[in-house]
Chains A and B, each alone.
Chain A
Amino acid sequence: MGKVTFSRGGIHPRDCKYARECAIEELPLPKTVYVSMVQHLGAPAKPLVAPGDSVKVGQVIAEPGGFISAFIHSPVSGTVKGIAPRKNLAGDPVMHVEIAVEGDEWDPAIDRSGDLVTDIPDDKALILGRIKACGVVGLGGATFPTHVKLSPPPGKVADCLIINGSECEPFLTSDYRIMIERPKEVVVGAAIMQKVLDGCHCVIGIEENKPEAIAAIRAAVAELGYPDIRVQVLRKRYPQGGEKQLIDAVLHRQVGSGGLPIDVGAVVQNVTTSFAVYEAVQKNKPLISNILTVTGDKIPAKLQHNYLFRIGVPLSFVMEQAGGIPDTAAKIVSGGPMMGKAVSNLDATTVKGTAAVLYLSEAATRRQKESHCIRCGKCADACPMGLEPFLLNRLYKAADLEALEKNAAQDCIECGCCLYSCPAHIPLLDHIRQAKGQVMGVIRARAAAAKAAAEAKKQ
């Protein structure tokens, strides 16, 4: 089968995958880790430990705070020092459990050997239970609890599982490294999820700029011989890794406005999530570590790394271990350059979804002076959701919420293609993100009112 891609919009930013040849190294342990209680989409987790408790690696330290939430495990062994609010990446206070590191003693239930386990348990409930108990969340960016995503609501059936190995963001190489170094584990993880979804098709989508990863995964698929798993080469294009875009590229199905992938029979999981699922189900290892890339533009090769880090390690420690902050860095971003968040607080800690520490130079990051919209329509051409960013920008300024909803501001996936392509440097995304928040507020309020009215009618 030839290369495919999504049908609408998209851009071609420079690749910049400078750290692609850096093998995954294990990051040493710091003296103290701070484990955030907000590491997933949904309700914050509730701490189960108290100051003074001693914990082992992999021990549960927090339970889910709601249906959409996840368990959190201790990434180190040591003593709990305190549970207090601490500033996160954006400077907002969030509950953290502070643990002083003492040695590296693991929970004996965890299989730490490197042997590949290919026999998948037959019991679906057992698999889902393990995924939930191990606190696995989507590591592609949204950190949505994986067990919830793998349990389609009644009446809906998944007929295709898509494993997302596109890694379309420039600079990031963590998914690439895991596909090269642990291809078999990724494929077993995919097969596990395939089993949970009642043996649906499974497609592993990888962009064409990663031929080594394609070869490695293909070899693993052939060797392991699970039925109905295939690799699909994708044409390079951003934002291919967006759920709706990937479904369009692989299955040629469109997820409607306000819809979910399951509405068109698809479930999308990242390759790193697949690896985490493998470790959870086959090795009983909770999600306490992840891979992050330390890279940037115009920085020396010795500062570039792919680290296997324990969750809760402060970003400042990561940077220190990687060789310090380069002089050229004007902006430090957590995540990719397109959708990542600027780090305003270097003492913030890593969370389950941390994918990269990116140093951007002044030239690469500085915004240029905004000028007037010349109606060139480049933003509308670039928008992968088929929106009209210039129009949404004007409607936001006019505070016309009704028109914003009609023009589907709520469907924005915040990929940044409009901002990237605007020759007038208008902060389109900043404004549309605001508009989206306001429209979502209106939609939620309306849904809540409708629910209340229905309940009142019942009584």
Chain B
Amino acid sequence: MTQTVIWTVAILAVLGFLLALILFWVARRFKVEEDPRIDEVEKVMPGANCGGCGFAGCRAFADSAVKAANMDNHYCPVGGDEVMQKVASILGFTVTAKAPQVAVVRCNGSCANRPVVNDYDGAASCRVKAALYSGDTLCSFGCLGCGDCVAACQFGALSMDPETGLPVVDAQKCTACGACVKACPRHIIELRNEGPRGMREVVRCVNKDKGPVARKACAAACIGCGLCMKTCQHGAITVADNLAYIDYTKCKLCRECEAVCPTGAIHGVNFPRELDKEAVKKRIADRKNKEAANG
């Protein structure tokens, strides 16, 4: 009995030692030299593995960044400039600061604005719904309301507003990773510059139907009248396919477009004061009179 125990222990000990030797040899012989900076870069990354940078995760980003010649194709939208500065200092690059971005929902087709004409009873997924038909309202461009974007967001920044039936972005939590942009089959969500103190001007409509058709489908639709484009002094607004679009890089936040929009499709976000439409309209009229007087 005792002997059996002793033999067992002895054999196991010898086996263990031999195997350890093999492992030791294999580890030395087949050692992969990895750039130690990959670990360093990965350490400063947010670790969300969201894929917002276009790589499979933070490790893949670090791996690619270390091999890259410059930082042009590498930007972590979650970590933003702060993280990119750290990454650049590890790798000895310089990065130019990028304006922080945020996801913007470009549809205001709430239950009140956009009457529902038929009842959808299929799988609760925008992608499935979009493949089946043009949606339960007369608008075949706007939000389908099944919340694929909410499901795609890893940061809890999106939620469905039960009252309007539209997704709402929590700008504090949004990291602009772009997962919702990819998830939306109607391409309603867009990444835009956050703007100074979060102020921005957005056309909250993507309907490309002609004016009367769009208006019939939704009270808050852009009808492509072009008033905003004519009013804008900064050339920030273009109208294509019966739809206005504000270029956020050119917009100076004067809010004149918002004041003249007949359907209220243009929205100003995070402005400290409410828009006094009449005052702005008067300002525009005065300017036009002056221009006319000057010939």
Contact = CB atoms under 8 A, between A and B. Distances in A.
A89 B118 CA distance: 13
A325 B242 CA distance: 36
A450 B78 CA distance: 38
A323 interface: no
A430 B118 CA distance: 19
Contact of A427 (B123, B134, B135): B123
B128 A344 contact: no
Given A91-B135, A344-B133, A427 B140 contact: no
Interface in A418-459: 427, 430-431, 433-434, 437
A365 interface: yes
Interface residues of A, number: 19
Contacts of A433: 128, 131
A367 B123 CA distance: 9
A91 B140 contact: yes
Interface string B112-146: 00000110011101011001111110001000000
A431 B123 contact: yes
Contacts of A91: 133-135, 140
Given A91-B140, A92-B140, A427 B131 contact: no
A420 to B, nearest CB: 15
Nearest to A90: B133
B128 A430 contact: yes
Nearest to A89: B133
A365 B122 CA distance: 11
Contacts of A366: 121
A427 B133 contact: no
Nearest to B127: A434
Given A91-B140, A92-B140, A430 B125 contact: yes
Nearest to B135: A91
B123 A87 contact: no
Interface in A303-358: 331, 341-342, 344
Contact of B132 (A87, A90, A367): A90
A238 B133 CA distance: 26
A427 B135 CA distance: 18
A366 B120 CA distance: 10
Contacts of B131: 433-434, 437
A342 B133 CA distance: 9
Interface in A363-421: 365-367
B269 to A, nearest CB: 31
B128 A427 contact: yes
Interface of A: 87, 89-93, 331, 341-342, 344, 365-367, 427, 430-431, 433-434, 437
Given A90-B134, A93-B140, 11 more contacts: A89-B133, A91-B134, A92-B133, A341-B132, A344-B118, A367-B121, A430-B123, A430-B125, A431-B128, A433-B128, A434-B125
22 contacts: A89-B133, A90-B132, A91-B134, A91-B135, A92-B133, A92-B140, A93-B140, A342-B132, A344-B117, A344-B118, A366-B121, A367-B122, A427-B122, A427-B123, A427-B128, A430-B122, A430-B128, A431-B123, A431-B125, A433-B128, A434-B128, A434-B131
Q: Which 10 A-B residue pairs are closest in the complex by CB-CB distance?
A: A91-B134, A427-B123, A430-B123, A90-B133, A430-B128, A344-B133, A344-B118, A367-B121, A91-B133, A430-B122
